[in-house]
Amino acid sequence: MISPLHRLKIELFTEGLVVAPGAHERLAGADGQRPLTLADYASTSGITLRLPDDVWVNAPIAQHNPNFVHAPRHTLDLAGDGFVVRGHLGEFPTVPIPVPDYHDEVNAEGEAYTSYAYTHSDRVRISRRGCAIACKFCDLPYEYRYRTKRTAGLVDAVDRALKDAALPARHVLISGGLPRTADYGWLQEVWSAVAAAFPAIDVDVMMVPAPGLMDPRALKAAGIAGLSINMEMPEYRARSPRHARQGEDRTGPVAASRRTVRGRIRTGADSLVAHARHRAARRHLERRRGTG
């Protein structure tokens, strides 16, 4: 039986949230210029809320998700000095997490800090711009032209995020789309530079397991605390059993993912799901071989 609180989390995540005028005014600050969300990516384009019992959710809003946020059943509103979420499940006190103070600041070079870093809850994320491949299900390569970023600029942005008064980051995530092969050295330089600059802060890496790039032992030696494997990898065994029998996946992304996961520092649910899919595809192939 799902509790009302956890049902609320599911509904906020899937249906979105209405922000009442009073709540919007308070969140926007005295000058009305503070955004409700940095909205840098689809999965972080909502308002982060801390619900009772330390339950967290990123609730999409129509401003950035008009494709599916149509008639949310829950509203973020004011209640005295605080906030509540009201809806058909009842009324729940909540704490909206603000965007960082650096959201409209620039660095010494005149570049926006948000061109290098984004903070969501307690994590600051840095990445290159765009992706070296163009998957049809992903908007990243179509909206952002691929380019690398200055390593010093990335380190400086992390430092600013860690010191932010409104939303200080507590750990770092280095992620993004797949880099070009020619930029593997640059990305490895970024990993090492960030980990060396902030030895007391956990720095995690999330990336497609590209051969020649994702070496868990090298990451650990560089000071990286955690490794997550992206889900964007194609599963050739499931998509084409005939090609899998011919061995076409032995040097591709699936083979790379198997090598990476075996030597993982730490993996999350994404890699476990990918591993489960691989096992299911393998059982499918074995059944096909058994039936001739």
The per-residue pLDDT for 252 is 42
The dihedral built from the CA positions of residue 84, 86, 90 and 96, taken in this order, carries a sign that is: negative
Q: Look at the chain and count its residues.
A: 292
Residue-wise over 8-41: b if at least 16 C-beta within 10 A, else e?
A: bbebbeebbbbbeeebbebbeeeeeebebbbbee
CA distances from 289 to 143, 240, 243, 254 (A): 44, 14, 14, 20
pLDDT grade for 144, boundaries at 50, 70 and 90: confident
With 0-12 / 13-18 / 19 or more C-beta atoms within 10 angstroms meaning exposed / middle / buried, residue 292 is exposed
Domain boundaries, the chain: 4-96, 101-290
> How confident is the model over 146-161, as a mean pLDDT?
96
The dihedral built from the CA positions of residue 210, 211, 213 and 216, taken in this order, carries a sign that is: positive
**3-state secondary structure (DSSP) of residue 89:** coil
pTM: 0.77
Lowest pLDDT segment from 79-93, 113-127, 170-184, 244-258: 244-258
Q: pLDDT above 70 covers what percent of the chain?
A: 76
Nearest to 210 by CA among 227, 226, 223, 197: 227
* 260, 209 contact by CB (below 8 A): yes
pLDDT grade for 156, boundaries at 50, 70 and 90: very high
**How many Cβ atoms from other residues are within 10 Å of residue 218's Cβ?**
13
pLDDT grade for 230, boundaries at 50, 70 and 90: low
| pLDDT tens sequence across 55-102 | 999 999 999 888 889 999 999 999 999 999 999 999 999 999 999 999
The per-residue pLDDT for 260 is 36
| pLDDT tens sequence across 162-207 | 999 999 999 999 988 788 899 999 999 999 999 999 999 999 998 8
Residue 26, token pair as written in the block = 């308070």
